[in-house]
């Protein structure tokens, strides 16, 4: 038995044969062409065909993984029309008398290298998208079909990397799990894998002769086991059965209340980042959406999403939740979430820099466009708004002035909107310490324990070297949580937790003792959390 360690992208246990995804030989030969204009026309026809393919992929992804994740295929369409990209290919054909396949390949390599050299993580991740676009053009020009799984039996799919378009096109019924040699946990492929519920591990240095061998994928630990011995295989098969049984038992909790044996009731909501995640939250019987990460609308576009684009997404979320509470966090970028088109300057310490509400209060046009979209959508459901990274009373008062302006503008224009609760995230020690003052200004608190722990402990949570020092159970963090809960209740407002700590089942009892009114977790954790709550005396 051979054990290979990788990095988990999505949990689960899978057992079955490995199939290495056999891609076509990507070597493109350079050919001399006499009629360059005919070659340009051939390229343009291939571009039109590629756009049609991407439109079909977008529609397919929309139904399978939701609008936010499907948006990558819109980005690919835009890349095909990018004038720098187009001019590079057509100029190469005309000036060097080369075939369109070769021009597309060289352009793809050049643009991909350019993106890979950028400092911004998001822009570096676009290098794979450029390659995907150029390879699509080459396949069409050369008359090649799509890559896919060879047989009809479900397999553990192994690949060097998987482009978003490849992931969506694969027949999910034939995939037990996938493992890739490259890729990142923040790539579109990783996001799609999580949404499609496919156990996945990246950074796996699998041997080339593993094709056809039996393997065990442990998506929880990120480990792959090739040629497992009978005893280990029996153990993992039993563990897999236990996981399935646990999920089935949890289903019996659907429709039941989140109430302790002593009668204490707690709202259990879900954290989501897309419309498809909202559907998953409903399937897991979440009582509402405690955190809708609106920044994903910005991260997955190459332009500022318009008010109308945002309105359509927020409206769809509100309607899908059918009256259940939907708490939407305003734009929260900066720190580890960078967006190229925002053109933000490099910062030595972005976690303490230009981010979240600071950007919104500085770039009022972006902020007001989002608020208008949110208020308009509130007419179609139970939408609440919360503002991230607050540190002062003055910030909250300024936010209230701007939101009042937006409501006034909508009212003057005859546009209806609902009665919207407005709250703030408690993510900084400053906000926690003055939470008694802040509570007088808002309708609710939602505690973001990820950043609150980071700032309280002075530990960068993105730095793996500090994992041994990072203690989210630190008494200082827990004391701040209790302080915030007490101050919220003194002012007559409710308080919840939407950070990762909310899903820490070892702390559920402590959170209830503190008086937390709501816990918001990933959709998959809703029922496990309900189970713990119902067992508490």
Residues facing 272 on adjacent strands: 292
Q: What is the residue-wise DSSP string for 39-55?
A: HHHHHHHHHHHHHHHHH
Which secondary-structure segment (H or E) carries 157? strand 155-159
- The residues near 214 (Cβ < 8 Å, ≥ 6 apart) are 15, 16, 17, 18, 226, 227, 228, 233
Among the options 76, 188, 210, 360, which is catalytic? 188
Burial of 462 (0-12, 13-18, 19+ CB in 10 A): exposed
| Cα gap 418→431, rounded to integer Å | 28
Reported residue count of the chain is 537
Alpha helices in 32-146 (DSSP H): 36-65, 67-81, 83-96, 100-116, 121-142
d(CA 160, CA 162) in angstroms, rounded, equals 7
Clarify whether 188 is annotated catalytic.
yes
Provide the 8-state DSSP code for 63: H
Q: In 262-381, which ranges are E strands?
A: 267-272, 289-293, 325-329
Out of 76, 210, 360, 498, which one is annotated catalytic? 498
Q: How far apart are the C-alpha atoms of 170 and 60, rounded to whole Å?
A: 11
What angle do helix axes 393-412 and 364-377 make, rounded to 10 degrees?
A: 60
Question: Is 108:227 a contact under the CB 8 Å cutoff?
Answer: no
Phi-psi domain of 532 (left: phi exceeds 0; alpha: psi -120 through 50; beta: other): alpha
The total of other beta-carbon atoms located within 10 Å of residue 316's CB is 17
Sheet containing 7-10: order of strands: 2-5, 223-226, 214-218, 13-20, 155-159, 175-180, 200-202, 7-10
Clarify whether 360 is annotated catalytic. Answer: no
Strand residues in 194-242 grouped as ranges (E) = 200-202, 214-218, 223-226
Instruction: Please state, in angstroms and rounded to a whole number, the distance separating the CA atoms of residues 522 and 174.
Output: 26
Q: Angle at CA 480, nearest 5°, toward 478 and 485?
A: 95
**Do 422 and 385 touch, CB atoms closer than 8 A?**
yes
The token duo for 292 is 């809708």
> Within a 10 A sphere around the Cβ of 152, how many other Cβ atoms?
9
List, by residue number, the catalytic residues.
188, 498
């Amino acid at each position: 038995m051979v054990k290979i360690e990788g990095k988990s992208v999505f949990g689960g246990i899978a057992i079955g044969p490995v199939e290495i995804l056999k891609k076509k030989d990507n070597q493109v030969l350079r050919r001399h062409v006499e009629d360059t204009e005919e070659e340009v026309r051939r390229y343009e026809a291939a571009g039109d065909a590629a756009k049609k393919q991407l439109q079909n992929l977008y529609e397919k992804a929309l139904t399978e993984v939701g609008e936010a994740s499907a948006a990558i295929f819109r980005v690919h369409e835009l890349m095909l029309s990018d004038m720098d990209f187009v001019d590079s290919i057509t100029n190469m054909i005309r000036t060097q008398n080369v075939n369109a396949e070769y021009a597309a390949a060289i352009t793809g390599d050049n643009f991909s290298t350019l993106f890979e050299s950028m400092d911004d993580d998001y822009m570096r991740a676009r290098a794979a998208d450029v390659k995907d676009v150029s390879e699509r053009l080459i396949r069409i020009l050369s008359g090649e079909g799509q890559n896919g799984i060879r047989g009809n039996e479900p397999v553990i799919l192994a690949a060097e990397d998987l482009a978003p378009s490849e992931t969506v096109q694969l027949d999910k019924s034939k995939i037990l799990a996938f493992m890739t040699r490259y890729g990142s946990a923040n790539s579109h492929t990783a996001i799609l894998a999580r949404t499609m519920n496919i156990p996945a591990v990246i950074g796996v240095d699998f041997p080339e002769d593993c094709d056809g061998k039996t393997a065990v994928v442990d998506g929880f630990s990120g480990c792959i086991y090739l040629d497992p011995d009978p005893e280990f295989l029996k153990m993992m098969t039993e563990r897999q059965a236990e996981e399935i049984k646990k999920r089935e038992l949890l289903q019996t909790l659907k429709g039941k209340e989140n109430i302790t044996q002593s009668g204490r009731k707690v709202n259990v909501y879900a954290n989501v980042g897309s419309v498809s995640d909202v559907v998953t939250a409903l399937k897991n019987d979440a009582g509402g959406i405690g955190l809708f990460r609106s920044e994903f609308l910005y991260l997955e576009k190459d332009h500022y999403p318009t008010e109308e684009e945002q309105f359509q997404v927020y409206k769809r979320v509100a309607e899908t939740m059918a009256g259940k509470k939907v708490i939407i966090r305003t734009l929260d970028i900066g720190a580890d979430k960078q967006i190229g088109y925002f053109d933000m300057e490099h910062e030595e310490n972005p976690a303490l820099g230009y981010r979240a509400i600071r950007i919104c209060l500085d770039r009022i046009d972006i902020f007001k466009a989002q608020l208008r979209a949110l208020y308009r959508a509130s007419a179609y459901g139970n939408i609440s708004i919360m503002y991230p990274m607050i540190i002062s009373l003055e910030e909250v008062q300024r936010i209230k002035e701007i939101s009042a302006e937006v409501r006034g503008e909508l009212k003057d224009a005859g546009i209806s909107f609902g009665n919207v609760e407005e709250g703030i995230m408690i993510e900084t020690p400053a906000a926690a310490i003055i939470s008694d003052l802040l509570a007088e200004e808002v309708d609710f608190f939602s505690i973001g324990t990820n950043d609150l722990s980071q700032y309280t402990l002075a530990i960068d949570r993105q730095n793996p070297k500090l994992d041994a020092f990072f203690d989210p159970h630190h008494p200082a963090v827990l004391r701040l949580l209790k302080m915030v809960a007490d101050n919220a209740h003194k002012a007559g407002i409710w308080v919840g937790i939407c950070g990762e700590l909310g899903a820490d089942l070892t702390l559920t009892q402590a959170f209830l003792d503190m008086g937390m009114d709501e816990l918001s977790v990933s959709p998959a954790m809703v029922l496990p959390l309900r189970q713990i709550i119902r067992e508490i005396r």
